[in-house]
Amino acid sequence: MTAHAERSAAVPGGELRVWEKGAGPAICFFAGVVGLPRWLPVLDRLAEAHRVAAPSLPGAPGGHSADLLDDHVDWLLAARDAHRAAETDGGALIGASTGGALAADVAAVWPRAVGKLVLIAPFGMFDEAEPIADIFAQRPRDRSPLLTNRPEELDAYTACGSDDADQALEWDIAMQRANNAAARLLWPLGDTRLATRLGRIACPTLLLRGADDRVMPRSYAARMADAISGPATIREIAGAGHMAEFDRPDEVAEAIAAFLAGG
């Protein structure tokens, strides 16, 4: 299997990393709460028939700083800058979890930039009657089991794995920065008032969720699908938690590929 390519892009917030692989119709991928510290198998699968570009969002590994993003307008513009850096305008946009909240907003505010939208358990809404789990108030040992059905693999995915102290320090700080940025975007409830903008999404949209998602209640996908003005479908992935793309990469890639291949 070939490796992905890496390039750097200059955006108003600074430099950001873009990982790319494959050829074919374009897909932009916004990663979730841990960012993309390493390449993911789900992207390999998608790259079999697409050009996949994964720009780093602010604060995430490879991304520019999120320190000056004070409000949602700042975040929205930074997300669109990352999307533009992927050079996938008119193609598909996939966003997972925290990245899903931003992907939905990009599709809502720049409708011509997104041909099809895939949201994997996106944040952005909050219902007092069915609250989202507080992913930012967890004991360290409880966090991975909350996010995924493969907690040990997630711990390994997010660990440096190097004995070099300097390298380990920088890695740890980068992972903390990713978490800090996610918290900065979503604090305290994860509600970015996305509900008020969902009606602007006119493109075909696929909402994916892990059947075992312990973060986002099942009803959220239906609520989003109802509010989106374009055609929206929901697909549940068996055996997957909140990070469905991590837990079941083959099934998620297949569902996305089928959706993108459809009319």
Partner 1 sequence: MKVLWFHLMPYTELPEDFKERHPGVWVEIDPALFDPERAHVMYNDFMDELEFAADRGFDGICVNEHHSNGYGLMPSPNLIASSLARRTSDAAICVMGSSVALYDPPIRVAEEFAMIDCISGGRLIAGFPVGTPMDTCYAYSRNPGLLRPRYYEAIDLITRAWREDKPFPYNGRFNQLRYVNPWPRPIQKPRPPVWVPGSGSVETWRMCYENDFVYAYLSYWGYKAGLGVMKGFWEEMKAMGAEPNPYHAGFLQAVGVAESRAEAVDLYAEPASYFYDRCLHLDPKFARPPGYVSEATVRSRITSQVSRAADQAISARPFHSADDNVLEQGHVIVGSPDEVADQLREVAINLNVGHLMLLLHFGNMSKDLTRHNTQLFAERVLPQIADLFDDEWEDKWWPSPMPSQSRAVPEPVAV
Residue 169 is a binding residue for partner 1 (CB under 8 A): yes
The token pair that represents 159 in the structure block: 């660990």
CA 245 – CA 252 distance, rounded (Å): 6
Q: Would you say 210 and 243 are in contact if contact means Cβ atoms under 8 Å apart?
A: yes
Query: Total residues at the site for partner 1 (CB under 8 A)?
Result: 21
Helix, strand, coil percent values for the chain (each to nearest 5) = 40, 20, 40
Give 130 or 172: the residue with its C-beta nearer to partner 1: 172
Q: What are phi and psi of 241, to 5 degrees?
A: -95, -150
Dihedral sign for Cα atoms in the order 92, 97, 101, 102: negative
Within the chain, strands assigned E span 5-11, 14-21, 26-30, 51-55, 92-96, 116-120, 205-210, 232-237
Q: How far is the CB of 25 from partner 1 (least distance, A)?
A: 36
Q: Which of 179, 224, 237, 252 binds partner 1 (CB under 8 A)?
A: 179
At 223, is the secondary structure helix, strand, or coil?
A: helix
Q: How far is the CB of 224 from partner 1 (least distance, A)?
A: 24
Q: Which of 180, 200, 202, 217 binds partner 1 (CB under 8 A)?
A: 180
Q: Which residues pair with 236 in a beta bridge?
A: 209
Residue 156 is a binding residue for partner 1 (CB under 8 A): no
Residue 139 is a binding residue for partner 1 (CB under 8 A): yes
Q: How far is the CB of 126 from partner 1 (least distance, A)?
A: 12
Q: How far is the CB of 93 from partner 1 (least distance, A)?
A: 26
Q: How far is the CB of 132 from partner 1 (least distance, A)?
A: 14
Q: How far is the CB of 187 from partner 1 (least distance, A)?
A: 4
Residue 183 is a binding residue for partner 1 (CB under 8 A): yes
Residue 229 is a binding residue for partner 1 (CB under 8 A): no
Instruction: Provide the edge-to-edge strand list for the sheet that holds 26-30.
Output: 5-11, 14-21, 51-55, 26-30, 92-96, 116-120, 205-210, 232-237
Residue 173 is a binding residue for partner 1 (CB under 8 A): yes
Residue 159 is a binding residue for partner 1 (CB under 8 A): no
Q: How far is the CB of 189 from partner 1 (least distance, A)?
A: 8
Residue 144 is a binding residue for partner 1 (CB under 8 A): no
Burial of 128 (0-12, 13-18, 19+ CB in 10 A): exposed
Residue 128 is a binding residue for partner 1 (CB under 8 A): no
CA 211 – CA 67 distance, rounded (Å): 35
Query: Using CB under 8 A as the criterion, which residues of the chain lie in contact with partner 1 when the complex forms?
Result: 66-67, 70, 136-139, 142, 169, 172-173, 176-177, 179-184, 187-188
